[in-house]
Chains A and B, each alone.
Chain A
Amino acid sequence: MEIVNKKLTDAQFDALRPQVLSSWPTGGDVDFDEGVAFHHDLPEAKRFPVALDQADQARRVLLQPRAGVALLEEHIALLQLLSTAADVLPTTIDAYTRQNRYDEAQKGIDKSRQAGHSLLNGFPAVNHGLRACREIIERVEKPVQVRHGTPDARLLAEITLAAGFTSYEGGGISYNIPYTKKVPLQKSIEDWQYVDRLVGRYEAAGVRINREPFGPLSGTLVPPFMSHAIAIIEGLLALEQGVRSITLGYGQAGNLVQDIAAIHSLRQLARHWFEAEGYSDFQLSTVFHQWMGGFPEDESKAFAVISWGGAVAALAGATKVIVKTPHEASGIPTGEANLQGIMATSQINSMLVDQQASLLPIVQPEIERIRREVNTVLRAVKAAGEGDWATGAVRAFAAGILDVPFAPSIYNKGKLLPVRDNEGAIRLFDFGAVPLDMDTRAFHAAKVKERSTTEGREPCFQMVIDDIYSISKGRLVGRPR
C-alpha cells in the first residue's frame, strides 16, 4: 500500500509504539505523561519555540553551533562552554546511533572511556538513555535541540523529547536522501510521520516542540528551489501530524543575492503553501546554514568563510544561523574552536542585522525566479501524488521530479546537475527530469553559457568538480587553473 499524508490515529500510533520502545532497552524508561509534566515545569528560557518567536519579533538572529561527544559529563561541559556565546544549543547525535546501530555506539562509548577522549562524532543519546538526556536539560540553561541525520528516529525522539528537549531536527526526506544509501523513502516518511505525530501529541498536551526539516540536504551545490520544495513538503507532512512550530532551513550557496533571495522566498512560499493546504495556526521560522561544503584548512581563511555566512544570515533576516568552526576542514572541532566560530559570527551578525531593508529591491528578481521554480516543482509533486503529498514525494523522487545533487541514496535519481554561474550563483547545467518551464530553462542555460564563454571551456563535469572544491581553495567560482 502506498503511503498517504494523513494524521495517524491514536490506534495506529499506539499499535506502533511498543515495538519502537522495545527496540533498545533504554526505551523502557520513556513515560509520556511524566515527560509532559517535566516540560510544563521548564522555564521559558529553556524552550526552543519561545526563543525562535522572540528572535523573529526582535528581528535578531539566533546563533547555534553543532556539538556532541561520546560521554555525558564531557557533553554537558561542552554545552555549558558554548552556552556562554550561543543563543540556542544542540545535541548532535553520533553516526552509529543515526543508523540505529546501538551496539556499535556502545563500543564507541566504551572505547572513549578507555581513551580518555571522544571517539564518537556525537552524543549517543539512545544508549545513554532518558535520565542522562534529562540531565543535559537540567544542567544547561538554554534551549537544546536534537540534531542528527537519522532515517528512523522514532526511539531517539521518544527518549529525548520525554527527557525535555524542545526541538527536533530532521524529516522523512531530508534525513533519508542525503544520509543513507538504501532506506526506501516510503519507510523513512512513515517513520517520520510517527515522530511528527509524537510531537503533535505533546502539542495537544500543551507542550510546544519545534521541528526543523534539514535544509541543506547534500550541502553540495543544491539549487534553492529544490531544497525549498523539499522543506515545504516536509513542513506540510509535519503540520498534518499536529506539529505547530516549524523552522525551514537553507544552506548557504555563496552568492549574496541568491542567498538573501532564498531566505525571503522560503518564508513567503512556505506560508503560502501551508495556508493554501488549509493550515493556519502555525509558527514559522527560518534557519540559515553557514557554508556546508569543503572548508579551507587554514583557520584564518575558515574564519572568513564563517563570517561571510554570518553576514548573509543577518542580511537575509533568518531566524537562526547554524555556525561552523575554524576546524571544519578536519572534522569535529574542540569546544574552544567551536566557541570561536560563534564569536566571529556574533560580531559580524550584530553589525549587519539592521541593514537588511536596503538590499530587498536588489534581490527581488531572484526571489521571483525561485518562487516560479518552487511552485512549478510543487505542483508537479502534488499532481504525481494525485493530491497527496506523501504519495507525491515518493513518486516524484522515483520520477526525478525531486532530485538532490550528490546524494548517496539509491532512491534519488542524481540526474540534476548544478553548476555555478559567472557570479557564483547555483544554476542548472543538466535539468535531469525536473519539470521546469521553458523560460526557466533558457535562463539557466544563458547563465551557464555566460560563464563558459568567460572561461573558454564548455560546461562539463570538471567544471562542477571545480565548483565543489572552490571555496576550500580560496574562491567561489571554480575557474580553471
Chain B
Amino acid sequence: MNTHTIVLGVIGADCHAVGNKILEAFFTQAGYRVVNLGVMVSQDEFIDAAIETGAAAILVSSLYGHGEIDCAGLRERCIERGLENLVLYVGGNLVVGKADFGATRDKFLSMGYDRVFQPSVDLDGVLELLSQDLAARAGG
C-alpha cells in the first residue's frame, strides 16, 4: 500500500498540545508518515513542510477560537506555491463561542478546506474519509 505523508499542526498562536500529540500517535499507527509541526504553526510553516516532505495532505487544528483569522487564505497560499492537489482538512473549536456547526463548516469549506471537523469527531471515520480523499486526488 502506498504510504502517504501528512502534515499535522496547530495553527496560529494556539498552544493546545494534547490533541495534537494524540493525532500524531493515531495517524502513525494507521500507517501514515506523519510530519508533526506541533503547536503555534504559521501558514508558511505548514506549506514549507508539505513541500519539503512531498506531503499529500495538511491537517490543521485550531482549538482556541482564532481559527477564523488564522485559517483564511491557506488554500490560496498553497496554490500560489504550487501545491494544487493537496488535501486540506481543518478541525477543532474553529470560531469564538458556541456556534452552529453547520454554519462554521460552510464558512471553512468556502475558505477551501476539503473537510471540517468538530473536536468530538470519531477518528476512525476521519481515517476512512482521508483515505478516500487521497485516492480520489491520486486518481484525478
Contact = CB atoms under 8 A, between A and B. Distances in A.
A461 B64 CA distance: 26
B30 interface: no
A330 B17 CA distance: 17
Interface stretch (B74-82, B83-91, B92-100, B130-138): B92-100
B69 to A, nearest CB: 6
B63 to A, nearest CB: 7
Given A95-B64, A337-B98, A330 B12 contact: no
Contact of A107 (B18, B22, B69, B98): B69
A468 B39 CA distance: 18
A181 interface: yes
A119 B17 contact: no
B2 interface: no
Contacts of B69: 104, 107-108, 111, 119
Interface in A53-79: none
A465 B98 contact: no
A26 interface: no
A332 B97 contact: yes
B101 to A, nearest CB: 9
B98 A331 contact: yes
B122 to A, nearest CB: 12
**Size bracket of the A interface:** 35 or more
Interface string A104-138: 10011001000001111100000000000000000
Contact of A119 (B21, B25, B63, B96): B96
A5 to B, nearest CB: 26
A99 interface: yes
Where chain B touches its partner, the secondary structure class is loop
A116 to B, nearest CB: 12
Interface in A289-346: 294, 297, 327, 329-334, 337
A220 B99 CA distance: 26
A468 B95 CA distance: 23
A180 B12 CA distance: 12
Given A95-B12, A330-B99, A331-B93, A108 B40 contact: no
A481 interface: no
A333 B13 contact: no
A332 B67 CA distance: 13
A331 B21 CA distance: 20
A149 interface: yes
Given A95-B13, A108-B69, A119-B68, 5 more contacts: A95-B12, A95-B14, A108-B66, A327-B97, A331-B97
